[in-house]
Amino acid sequence: MKNNIIPLSDMTISQSGTVQDITTDSLHGQRLMEMGITPGCPITIVRFAPMGDPIDIQLRGYHLSIRHQDAACIQVIIDSQEIA
Amino acid sequence: MTTAQEQHVLTVALAGNPNSGKSTLFNALTKLRQKVGNYPGVTVEKRTGRFDLDNGSHVNVLDLPGTYSLTVQSPDEQVAHDVLLGRITSTPQPDIVVCVVDACHLERHLYLVSQIQDLRLPVIVALNMMDELTKQGRTIDINELACKLGSPVVPMSALHHQGLNQLKDTITRGCPNVPARRWRLPKPMERAIQSLQHQLETQHRIQRNESFSRGLLYLTTDTPPETLPKDLLKPIAQHRATLEAQGIHWRSAAVAARYTWIQQVLVGIIHAPSVCKPQWSDKLDAILTHKIWGWVAFLGMMTLMFYTIFTVAAIPMDWIDGGFTFLSEQLHAHMPPGDLRDLVTNGIVAGIGGVMVFLPQILILFFFICLLQDSGYMARAAFIMDRLMSRVGLHGKAFIPLLSSFACAIPGIMATRSIESPKDRMVTLLVAPLMTCSARLPVFTLLIATLLPNTPALTKAGLMLLMYLLGTIGAIGMAWLFKRTLFKGPTPPFIMELPPYRLPSAGSILLHMWERSYLFIKKAGTIIFAFSVILWALMTYPKADHLSPDTALKQSFAGRLGVAMEPAIRPLGYDWRIGIGLLGSMTAREIFVSTMNIVFSLDKEADTLTLREAFSQADWPDGRPLFTPLTCLSLMVFYVFAMQCVSSLAVIRRETNSWRWPLFQLVYMTTLAYVAALLVYQGGHLLGGS
C-alpha cells in the first residue's frame, strides 16, 4: 500500500487525498500545520498558478496557496478511487 | 450625566483571522470614533475606538491585527498575543475578547478561538457572515456550538449591521466563567506540559493563565523563543526525547489535537444541503487564475488602474494646482509687499499646494488597492505573481505595492503592510521609490524635449520607456542585493489563504481612503510644508531686491550652496544652476521645473517650450553649451534613481518608526543616482559623445 503515498507536490489537478505526515521541522512546517494541514486531514489540489507555482489546495472548507517546495514536504495518501 | 456605570470603562479586544470581517465589525461598532497609530517599538498598526452600550457605559475597543494563530511567529501575532495578556504599555488588558469567526469557514477559524481560551480570557465568539452561510443553504446550531465551545456565540453579519445589538447585550452581560481547557493532548504530552507549567509558575513567576500556552510553545517550537528561560532547555530536551520514544510527534501533536477537538465540536452542528451547489467564488477563480484568462484579467485590471490614475486624477490635480495659483495671486495682490507676503505666497501657499496636489492620485490609488484587497483579488494577484517575485527573493504580495509606486511611492509604501515578514516588507519599502513615479514625468518630459527637440513623438516615448525600464531594473536589482546582504534570509514562505471573493462595501472603502489620505497629509504634510518654507528661505535670503531675479538667486543661500556643490556635480555635467534645481526638487521632483524657471529668470508659469529654449541657450562660462545631450541623459538617469522626495521619506519614517531607514534610503539612492549619472556622462564622453 506504500506506493499510494506521494508528496503533495506530485499530485495532479483535482486529485484528492489525506495528509499522512509533514516532513519538515522548520517554521514553515509549523505554519502549514496551523493552517490546518495536519495528519488525517483530507486535501484536494484545485489548480496551479499560471506559471506553475504556487499551488491552490482545498482543505477544511477553504482555499490555501502554498509553494511547490513546501508541498514537497507534505506526504499524502491518495484516495483509493483515484488509483482505480 | 455622570453615573457610577460610566466610571468603569470596559476594554474589549477584537481578535480574528484575516478576512473574518473583523475590521467591518470594528467600523460598524465604532462608526467614525476611531484612532489609528502604531504600537510602541513595532510597525504594527494600532486601531482603537469607542462605542456605547445601552446602559450608557462606554466601551473601548482594540482592533487587534488579523492573525491565524497566536504562536508569535510574526510581529502581528506577537502584538496580538501581548495585547491579550496586557503586556503592552499604554494599552490596557482587555476585559473581554470578541473573537470574530467566519461562519462559512468555522473549522479553521475556531483554531484561534481555542488558543485565546487557553489564555484563560473571557471570549465571546462573533459568528460573522451568517448571511453567506444562509445563502449557501447551510445552518448552524448556535446553542449547541456555544455549549460545546464553552463560550457565548453571537450570530451576526457585520456587513449588514445584523447582530450588533445582540453582541452589545452579550458584552453587557459579560462572561463570568472562563471554561477550563476542553481539548486534550496525548497523555504523555499533557504530563510533560504539566511539569513545565509547574516550573514556569514556581521558578519563573509566570501567571497561571499563561503557563499552559507558554509551556506548549516552548515544548513544540524548534527555535527557542527569546522568552524561554535557559534552565528549561534541558528538561524540554528530555521531555522531547521521552515523547519521541513513545512515538509522539511533539511538533505536530498539539496542532493536530486542537483540530481534532474542533472537528468534534462541529460534528452534528452544521447542517448542509445534500447537494452542494458550486460556489460562484470558485467559478470566478477558474477564470481569474486561469493560465491565459488570468493574465488577461490581471493585465486588464492593472491597465485600468493606471489609465484612471493618469486621466481621472489629472483633472482634480489641475484644479488644485489652479486653485493654489489663484490663491497665491490674490494674496500677492492684496497683501502689502514685503517678506511676509513672499513667505505666505511663495513659501506657505506653494508648500501646502505641493502637498495637496498629490492627493487625487493617492486617493485613487488607495481606492484601487482597497478594492483589490476587500474583494479578495489581491491574494490572487500575489498567487499569479509569486513565481516571478520569488526569483528575486520577494513575496508575491510585494508586487502590488511596487506596481502602485509607478504612480506614487507613498501608497505603495503604505501598502507594504500586507507583507507579513518584516524583512521582506523592509526590502519592498526600500526599493519602492525606485519605481518611476508620476512626479518624475514633468522632469523627463522637459529633458527629453531639450534632448530631442525635433524628433517624432514615438522616439521621445521610446526614451521615456527606457527611463521607466531603468527604474524597474534598479528596483529589482536592489531588492536582489538587499535580500543577499542587509536582509539576508530564506525566500519567505508563501502560505497564503485565498479568501472567497466578496463584494466590497463602499463604506469601508471610503473610510480606508479617508484614513490613508489623512495619515499622508498629517505625517507627510507637515514635513513637506516645513521643507517648503525652509527652501523658500534659502532661495530668498539674503535679500538682494535691487538685482535681477536670477542674480539674486545666485546670491541667496541656495545659490551659494549650488555654487559650492558645483565641483561635486561637474563630473556629471551639471553647473551651479542645475545644482539649485536639484536642491529645490528635494521636496518633490517636479519642483525641478519651476525652480529652473526661476533660475533662468522666466515667469514662474512659463511653459516647457520657453524653458527648453532657455536651456538650449544656457552655457558654461567658457561658452560651451550646458545642456548637451549627455548632460540631459545624465540628469534623467539621476532622477531615475535619486530619492528626491521628502513625502516618501516622511511616510517611510512613519512606517518604520525611525529616521534610520529613510536616511539610509536617501544615502543609498543618492549614491546610486550619482554613480549612474557619472557613468552615463563620463562613459558617454569616452565613447565620443558630447
Neighbours of B232 (CB within 10 A): 20
Pairing of strands B139-140, B153-155: unpaired
Q: How many residues does chain A have?
A: 84
Look at B222 and A60 and tell me if their CB atoms are within 8 Å: no
Q: Which residue of B has its CA nearest to A34?
A: B255
Quick one: pLDDT at residue B423? Answer: 87
List chain B residues with CB under 8 Å of A13. Answer: none
Residue B1 clears pLDDT 50, i.e. is over it = no
To the nearest whole Å, the CA of B296 is away from the closest chain A CA by: 11
Q: Nearest CB to B386: which of A40, A46, A54?
A: A54
Phi, then psi, of B145 in degrees rounded to 5: -60, -45
Which residues of chain A are within 8 Å of residue B293 when distances are taken between CB atoms? none
Q: Is beta strand B270-271 parallel, antiparallel or unpaired with respect to A62-66?
A: unpaired
- Give the tens place of pLDDT for each residue, B67-125: 999 987 788 888 999 999 998 888 899 999 999 999 999 999 999 999 999 999 999 99
* Amino acid B603: pLDDT: 55
- Contacting residues of A for B289, CB less than 8 Å apart: 47, 49-50, 56
Question: Phi and psi (nearest 5°) for B32?
Answer: -105, 10
Type of residue numbered A50: P
B188-202, B229-243, B606-620: lowest mean pLDDT where?
A: B606-620
Angle (CA) B21-B25-B28 rounded to 5° is 140
Residue A37 confidence (pLDDT): 94
C-alpha span between B562 and B595 (Å, rounded): 12
pLDDT at B2 over 50: no
The string of pLDDT tens digits covering residues B14-39 is: 999 998 999 899 999 998 788 887 77
Distance from CA of B437 to the nearest CA of A (A): 28
Please provide the distance, in angstroms rounded to a whole number, between the alpha carbons at the two ends of chain B.
Answer: 80
pLDDT at B190: 94
Q: Identify the burial level of B582 via C-beta atoms within 10 angstroms of its C-beta, where 0-12 means exposed, 13-18 middle and 19 or more buried.
A: buried
List, as ranges, residues 17-36 from A with C-beta within 8 Å of B: 22, 25-36
Given a contact cutoff of 8 angstroms between Cβ atoms, the answer to whether B681 and B571 are in contact is yes
Min Cα distance B113 → chain A (Å) is 13
Question: What distance in Å separates residue A64's CA from the closest CA in chain B?
Answer: 4
Residues of chain B positioned with their CB less than 8 A from the CB of A34: 68-69, 71, 111, 255
Q: Do B256 and A52 touch (CB under 8 A)?
A: no
**CA-based diameter of chain A, in Å?**
37
A7 interfaces chain B, CB cutoff of 8 Å: no
Distance CA B43, CA B653 (A): 10
How crowded is residue A29: how many other Cβ atoms within 10 Å of its Cβ?
21
Mean pLDDT of chain B: 87
Max Cα-Cα span within chain B: 94
State residue B130's pLDDT score.
Answer: 95
* pLDDT tens string B194-234: 999 999 999 988 888 889 999 999 998 887 777 888 888 99
> In angstroms, rounded to a whole number, what is the distance separating the alpha carbons of residues B116 and B119?
5
Considering only CB atoms, B289 lies closest to which of A28, A50, A64, namely: A50
Residue among A29, A50, A70 minimizing CB distance to B295 = A50
User: Which whole number is the average pLDDT over B307-311?
Assistant: 79
H/E element holding B351?
A: helix B350-356
Flag if A31 and B388 touch (Cβ within 8 Å): no
- Pick B494's closest partner by Cβ from A33, A40, A66: A66
| Alpha-carbon span B162 to B129, nearest angstrom | 10
Residues B494/B386, Cβ–Cβ less than 8 Å? yes
Under a CB-based contact definition with an 8 Å cutoff, are residues B122 and B174 in contact? yes
Report the pLDDT value the prediction gives residue B613, as an integer from 0 to 100.
83
B-chain residue closest to A51, CA distance: B387
| Beta-strand relationship, B58-63 and B123-128 | unpaired
Q: Is A50 on the interface with B (CB under 8 A)?
A: yes
The whole-number pLDDT of residue B4 equals 46
The number of angstroms, rounded, from the C-alpha of B499 to the middle of its chain's C-alpha atoms is: 20
B282: chain A residues, CB-CB within 8 Å = 46
* pLDDT, mean of residues B434-447: 87
DSSP label of B175 = -
Give the global pTM.
0.84
- Predicted pLDDT at B31: 85
- Give all strands (DSSP E) within B489-622, no chain letters: 496-498
Q: Among all chains, which residue has been given the C-alpha cell 516645513?
A: B530
C-alpha–C-alpha distance, residues B431 and B589, integer Å: 17
Tell me if residue B561 falls in helix, strand or coil: helix
CB spacing of A26 vs B222 below 8 angstroms: yes
3-state helix/strand/coil string of chain A: CHHHEEEHHHCCCCCEEEEEEECCCCHHHHHHHHCCCCCCCEEEEEEECCCCCCEEEEECCEEEEECHHHHCCEEEEECHHHHC
What ipTM describes this predicted complex? Answer: 0.92
Contact B251/A25, CB-based, under 8 Å?
yes
> Is A67 in Cβ contact with B390 (below 8 Å)?
yes
Tens digit of each residue's pLDDT (9 = 90 or more) over B642-682? 998 888 898 898 888 889 999 999 999 999 999 999 999 99
Cβ–Cβ gap B493/A31 under 8 Å: yes
Q: Which of helix, strand or coil describes residue B155?
A: strand
* CA closest to A59 among chain B residues: B108
Task: Using an 8 Å CB-CB cutoff, list chain A residues near B104.
Answer: 61
Identity of the residue in A27, A34, A47 whose CB atom sits nearest the CB atom of B255: A34
Q: Residue A38: which of B255, B396, B497 has the nearest Cβ?
A: B255
Count CB-CB contacts under 10 A for residue B240: 17
* C-alpha to C-alpha distance for B404 and B397, rounded to whole angstroms: 12
8 Å CB contact of B107 and A61: yes
CB contact under 8 A, B108 and A60: yes
Phi-psi region of B496 (alpha: psi -120 to 50; beta: other; left: phi over 0): beta
**Lowest-confidence pick of B146-155, B216-225, B286-295:** B216-225
pLDDT band at B6 (very low <50, low <70, confident <90, very high): very low
Contacts of B519 (CB under 8 A, 6+ apart): B36, B414, B654
pLDDT at A3 over 70: no
CA gap B628, B621 in Å, rounded:
15
Q: Give contacts of A29 with chain B, Cβ < 8 Å.
A: 251
A60 to chain B, any CB pair closer than 8 A? The answer is: yes
CB proximity list for B510: less than 8 A, separation 6 or greater: none
DSSP state of B343: I
**Torsion angle of alpha carbons B64, B65, B66, B72, nearest 10°?**
-100
> Phi first, then psi: what are they for B35, rounded to 5°?
-130, 145
Q: b or e along B183-195 (b: 16 or more beta carbons within 10 Å of the residue's beta carbon)?
A: bebbebbeebbee
- Cα–Cα distances in angstroms (integers) from residue B405 to residues B306, B354, B356, B400, B667, in the given order: 11, 18, 18, 9, 20
Residue of chain A nearest B296, judged by CA positions: A50
pLDDT of B641 higher than 70? yes
- B527/B258 Cα distance (integer angstroms): 50
> Best residue in B118, B259, B291, B497 to probe A by mutation, most A CBs within 10 Å?
B259
Q: Are B383 and B616 in contact (CB under 8 A)?
A: no
Give dist(CA B101, CA B133) in Å, integer. Answer: 12
B495 vs A contacts (CB less than 8 Å): 28, 31-32, 35, 64-66, 70
pLDDT of residue B98: 96
pLDDT of amino acid B660: 93
Gap between the Cα atoms of B298 and B292, Å rounded: 10
- The continuous run of DSSP H or E covering B18 comes out as none
B553-594 pLDDT tens trace: 778 888 889 889 999 999 999 998 899 889 888 878 888 887
Looking at chain B, the whole-number percentage of residues with pLDDT higher than 90 is 39
Tell me what pLDDT residue B3 has: 47
A13 at interface of B, judged by CB pairs closer than 8 A:
no
* Pairwise CA distance, residues B464 & B387, whole Å: 28
